[in-house]
Every structure is written in C-alpha cells, then in structure tokens.
Amino acid sequence: MQKSATCVTDRREARRLATNRRITVQAQQLVERHGFDGFTMDDLAAAADVSRRTLFNHVGSKLDAVLGEFPVIPDPLVEQFRAGGPHGDLFSDLGALAEEVVADHDATREEIALGRRMLADPRLLAASNERFAAYAEPFLDHIAAREGAAYDETRARVAVSVLVSLAEMALDDYVADTEGRPLVDHLTRLLAAARSLVSRT
C-alpha cells in the first residue's frame, strides 16, 4: 500500500513539474515575442493549453511563470550534507549537491538558452538575482548546522556565492557548447577549476 501511494505521489509530482515547465517555456516565448508587458495571463493560459484556474494553481504571477521553479534538493542529500558528507570538505560537498541537482535536470539546451535570453531584460535580471539569493540563503543554515561552533558566516557566504556563479557559468557554457556535452559536465569542470585555484593559494 505504501509503495502504491508513493508511486501515485511521484506521478502527480511529475505531472505538476511537466505543467510548470510548459507554462514557463510558453511564458518566456511570449516575453521574447511581445515583451514582459505585452501579454496577459489569459494569453499565457491559452499558449500553455491550461485553464486560467490551472495556471494560477501553478504560478502566482506572470513573473513566477517567466522565471520558473528552482530545483528542489532531496532531503536525504541535504541531511548528508548537514552531517558532513559526502566528502568532508565544504566546497566539494556544496559542489556535489549542485552536481546531483544538475544531473537530474531534463530541460533542453534550447529551453535553457531561452531562459538565459530572458535576462537581457533588466527587470527580469534583477528579479532572477533576487530569487537566486533567496534560494541560496537556506544553505547558510545547512552550513551552520554542519559546522557547529566552527561556523564562519563570511566563509559560508563566499562558498555559496562562488557556487552560484559557477552554476551560472555552467549554464552559459552548456548553451554555447557545440559538442552536446551534458550540463553536469560543464559544472564539474568549473568546480574542479575553482578547487585547483584554491589549492594553489
């Protein structure tokens, strides 16, 4: 019974994520064609082939639709990190979390490229940066729980900020890659470069 309930929950979550993804892609395409102010939520509902009610069940605003959802890190991975794993080094373990999330992504290169083009709009860039900061903030709590009395907030903020910057670079490199390498490969390469810089200082 428990396994059956879990399967149903997983299917519902998969459908929810697929609908959210379709809404975001359609919203971004509308922005590209008409500008952020050039379409309504009714236009978006029609483009995404959902009812207005369904649309607002998935997104709270036009901005939410355009920016999309940030990935959720599974609780077991968070608990492993808070316990000091998987490698015992703060930056390496933050990188391992990011690699797990990125490896699980299924957005196409075209979808990511479209999302990156949205950031040419200063309003969307500012909103995206603000949401990235809010998304990263809980990691400071995870680091504090992990390090206990040794917690250094400045060190933690630097580690999280560097990781966010590398993730942004990985997205741009992935979009520009003509060889079709997975996004996680670009992130892994950049993480290795960052670690090599620190190890030489």
Q: What's the pLDDT tens digit per position in 71-125?
A: 888 999 999 999 999 999 999 999 999 999 888 777 899 999 999 999 999 999 9
Cβ atoms within 10 Å of 154's Cβ, excluding its own: 7
Percentage with pLDDT > 70 across the chain = 95
Q: What does the pLDDT read at residue 7?
A: 61
Handedness of CA 90, 91, 92, 96 (dihedral sign): positive
Alpha helices in 35-152 (DSSP H): 41-48, 52-58, 62-67, 75-82, 90-103, 109-118, 122-147
Q: What does the pLDDT read at residue 99?
A: 93
Enter the pTM of the model. Answer: 0.86
Q: What's the pLDDT tens digit per position in 160-190?
A: 999 999 999 999 999 999 999 999 999 999 9
Q: What is the dihedral of CA 18, 171, 94, 79, to 10 degrees?
A: 0
The end-to-end CA distance of the chain, in Å, is 56
Q: What's the pLDDT tens digit per position in 38-52?
A: 999 999 999 999 999
Q: What is the DSSP string of 107-120?
A: --HHHHHHHHHHTT
Q: What does the pLDDT read at residue 71?
A: 86
**Is residue 38 exposed (0-12), middle (13-18) or buried (19+ Cβ within 10 Å)?**
exposed
Q: What does the pLDDT read at residue 4?
A: 54
Q: What's the pLDDT tens digit per position in 120-149?
A: 999 999 999 999 888 888 999 999 999 999
Q: Check whether 201 has a pLDDT greater than 60.
A: no
CA distance 24 to 70: 12
What's the mean pLDDT when you consider all of the chain?
91
DSSP, collapsed to helix, strand or coil, labels residue 89 as coil
